[in-house]
Amino acid sequence: MPIEQSATRIDWIAQSCRLLTATAQDFSRTRPFAGLTIGTAIHLEPKTAALLLTLQAGGARLIATGNLNSTQRETVDFLRERGIEIIGGQTVDEGAHAGFIEAIVSEQPDLLLDNGGDLFACAVRRPYPRLRGGTEETTTGRMRLLPLRQEIRLPLLVINDSPIKQFAENRHAVGQSLFESYLRFTNRSTNGKRVTVFGYGACGRGTAACFRNAHALVSVVDADPVTTLEAHLDGFATPLREDAIRTADIIVTVTGAPAVVTARDLALLKDGAILLNGGHLPHEIDVPALRADERVHRVLSHVCEGIETLELDDGRRIHLLAQGHMANLAGPRPLGNSAESMDLGFTLQARCLERVAQGGLGEESCIVPVPRDIDAAVASAYLDLHR
């Protein structure tokens, strides 16, 4: 039998997103977004294509842009061919990205599907009456938008605060994908390496566990002493911050906060240390300050591998992956989190947007977790498909 060559990675991912497929079939009957426009700023890669097509099946007009350094060309082409409006393209330029966000908000979407808080922060600056609310995917976005709660005053459901998102995607999938990304970028082992993980939220727990399962010696640093105690009782070393940096062969940041590793840490970093960011924004490792530090006399860019090497005047070399961007969606062959985990998370997104579109949620639903009945319904539907 001849082998067909037409199948793409998007087709492969779509086959794995069984819950989104079932949701799209339901939406094609109920049409919860008929006559509504949904604006989104999200990583444009195959799994988000499955989400956007699900929303389109519900009658939505979709206007989308990507996040910094994660937009994939073939996904953009695929979505445009199916009538989804895409603004901008792949960029690491924060000014260009801000322009794409402004363009989305200028269309005055009825609902916003945000990933990092860019859209809602822009809508606060440029309010318009038809906005009904929406969703936010990330810890970073929640942290950014919480101080704006009184200005938003609309239903805004935070997907990251769902227990399903916490354990299925953050703990299990992020840990797996960051470990895979380290291997993909470096082609180096983890056996016996000393790994320091900054942040012991759900993503940090999964990351620390995956590196430990790969025979690395893992330390955890967290700003919260209670969380640090949890890491200690989970069997991880919890040295003081400077000691954790000084001994690390690999440093992974997954905190959601800026300036976790800065130029001040150059004196501590050992020769050959590898810096890897798993947080949403490329601010956890202060890359501009590292590059500009007077102790760095040369920067070697291994372009095809997505690696930069900072050569210091004392002979040490520090290696930076993906320019400090989210490593699992950057560099050569970026795959992101597993299809099954995103199938769950994106179904939560779709169902939460459906709830906001239906109305009845007051401003007290601004920056709150996914309603428990949606969590239960999504969990039951997933189990029914996979049992």
Q: Which residues pair with 194 in a beta bridge?
A: 217
Distance between CA atoms of residues 305 and 321, nearest Å = 9
Q: In the prediction, which pLDDT does 29 show?
A: 98
Backbone angles phi, psi at 35, to 5 degrees: 80, 0
Q: Are 280 and 253 in contact (CB under 8 A)?
A: no
Selection from 245, 261, 255, 259 nearest residue 222 by Cα: 255
Separation in Å, CA 120 to CA 102, 218, 349: 11, 37, 16
Distance between CA atoms of residues 150 and 350, nearest Å = 25
Distance between CA atoms of residues 95 and 82, nearest Å = 28
Q: In the prediction, which pLDDT does 2 show?
A: 66
Q: What is the pTM of this model?
A: 0.88
Distance between CA atoms of residues 161 and 303, nearest Å = 36
Residue ranges of domains in the chain, CATH in brackets: 9-161+338-386 (3.40.50.1480), 170-329 (3.40.50.720)
Distance between CA atoms of residues 346 and 91, nearest Å = 24
Distance between CA atoms of residues 387 and 382, nearest Å = 9
Q: In the prediction, which pLDDT does 203 show?
A: 95
Q: In the prediction, which pLDDT does 6 show?
A: 55
Distance between CA atoms of residues 297 and 280, nearest Å = 29
Q: Are 117 and 160 in contact (CB under 8 A)?
A: no
Q: What is the pLDDT along the chain (387 residues), one digit of tens a residue?
A: 665 655 688 989 989 999 999 999 999 999 999 999 999 999 899 999 999 999 999 999 999 999 877 888 899 999 999 999 999 888 878 899 999 999 999 999 999 999 999 999 999 999 999 999 999 999 889 999 999 999 999 999 999 999 999 999 999 999 999 999 999 999 999 999 999 999 999 999 999 999 999 999 999 999 999 999 999 999 999 999 999 999 999 999 999 899 999 999 999 999 999 999 999 888 999 999 999 999 999 999 988 889 999 999 999 999 999 999 999 988 888 899 999 999 999 999 999 999 999 998 999 999 999 999 999 999 999 999 988
What is the length of the chain? 387
Q: In the prediction, which pLDDT does 70 show?
A: 80
